[in-house]
Structure formats: structure tokens, C-alpha cells
Amino acid sequence: MEDDKSAQSPAAARLAEIRTRIAAAAAEAGRDPAAVHIVAVTKTFGEADILPVLAAGHRHFGENRVQEAKAKWPALRAQYPAVELHLVGPLQSNKTRDAVALFDAIHSIDRPKIARAVAEETARQGRRLLLFVQVNTGEEPQKAGVAPREAHALVRHCREELKLDIAGLMCIPPLNEEPAVHFAFLAKLAREMGLAHLSMGMSDDFATAVQFGATYLRIGSAIFGGRR
Ligand SMILES: *Cc1c(COP(=O)(O)O)cnc(C)c1O
């Protein structure tokens, strides 16, 4: 799958190194590293940055804005049709049609209105997406995500009323708190709901997230460098 290592770009080399660290963290936790997916978050980065990572064989990518993804990814996908694109940022209901058409996964379902819009669009377009409910585990007023005490009810609403298959939960821990506490909490919530997937862990805390059961890591700057 990978091209010649000697021709590797810095980003592809950093990704390979991250993969090694994930394998070590998984081994330490007694987990299969193949169960841990890296979503390479490409927001603010352009084709020149992304193409070498595609050429190195990576296929899971993430964006946090629908409009930016729409401007960037159709051309890249024409060259690499097996790309799986993840929306990791918030979704507004008026962008749902575009989002469902473009993305293979949405990590940010956090209220009934968005869940309903996604249910309607996936049915209308005949699409099946990997869906996550985002939980605001730190209960930060400025942050997206359903409040922890309302998470069960939202997942139940998706499953029972909307017939929307939820694959897992997602969180972004507060900046100045120990992420392990939030990862452990999200894992516990997912267990209670019988959800298999956990979208958690970013550039600074992905090894910890693996320890607590992450199946999708969302990693940007550790692969592509600082964002402008
Ligand atoms: C940008 C972003 C990431 C990646 O952040 P890094 O710290 O650069 O790894 C992960 N998740 C979401 C929701 C993001 O917006």
C-alpha cells in the first residue's frame, strides 16, 4: 500500500511515526491496532499538503467545514476514489444535503434537529453513513455536543424514532483538563448504550485515547504541521 519510503513527504513520515506510536499504545492496552483508525484532519491544508499522504496509501480524512471540504475534496477523490471523508466539525441543518452527499462519516450529531435532517437526507439520497453522537463531556457552554445527561435520550431518539443507526460517540475534551477522564467517561457512556465506536483523541492525546478504547483518532497538526 505504501510507496517507496525514501520518497516519503514529511507529512507521510510523521503519519508513519504516529502509526508506530498507536501500535505501541494498542499493544500496551491489549488491543488490536487494526481496530484504531486515523482520520487525518486536513482543514486549512491544500492539495499540495494532502496529495503526498494519499500517495503514501492513507484513505481516511477529516474536515471541519462542509464548504471547505466541498471546494477541496471532489478533485482529490477523482484521483483517489477509495477516500473516506469524515465531517468532524459542527453541522448546520441547511448544510445537511451537501454533507450527506460528500461525507462518509459525520462525527457531530448533537441535537434532534440535526439527527432528523441527517435521517431525512440519508434516506432521500440512499446513503449510509458512519454516524457519531458528539457529547460535550466537559459541559462547556461554547462547545458543541449534547449534554452528558441527555446523551442516552438523543441516541434512543435516533434509533427508535428516526431509525438512524448510530455507530458511536465523539468528544473533544476541554483544553486544560486531563483528557483521560473524558475518554474514560465517553467509553463508559458508549458501553452503556452498546455502541462499538469511539471518536476521540487528537494530536496531543491520541495515545491516551487508544488506551481508553478509541476506534477513530482525529489527528491534524501532528501530521500536517501547524495550521496557518
Ligand atoms: C481540527 C480538529 C481536530 C484535529 O486537531 P489537531 O489538534 O490538529 O490534531 C480534531 N477534531 C476536530 C473536531 C477538529 O476540528
Q: What is the pLDDT along the chain (228 residues), one digit of tens a residue?
A: 444 555 679 999 999 999 999 999 999 999 999 999 999 999 999 999 999 999 999 999 999 999 999 999 999 999 999 999 999 999 999 999 999 999 999 999 999 999 999 999 999 999 999 999 999 999 999 999 999 999 999 999 999 999 999 999 999 999 999 999 999 999 999 999 999 999 999 999 999 999 999 999 999 999 999 987
> Treating both helix axes as pointing N-terminal to C-terminal, what angle do 47-55 and 10-28 enclose, rounded to 10 degrees?
60
What atom in ligand 1 is closest to the CA of residue 64? 15
For ligand 1, say whether the CB of 44 is within 6 Å of any of its atoms: no
Tell me the CA–centroid distance for residue 161 and ligand 1, in Å: 31
Burial of 158-192, coded b for 16+ CB within 10 Å and e otherwise, reads beeebebebbbbbbbbbeeeebeebbbbbbebbee
Confirm if 184 and 28 have CB atoms less than 8 A apart. Answer: no
Q: Spell out where 121-224 has E strands.
A: 130-134, 168-170, 197-199, 216-219
- How many Å apart are CA 202 and CA 183, to the nearest integer? 12
What atom in ligand 1 is closest to the CA of residue 41? 4
Q: Best of 140, 182, 202 to mutate for ligand 1, by most ligand atoms within 8 A of CB? A: 202
For ligand 1, say whether the CB of 106 is within 6 Å of any of its atoms: no
Non-local (6+) Cβ contacts of 102 within 8 A are: 66, 69, 70, 73, 74, 85
Global confidence as pTM: 0.96
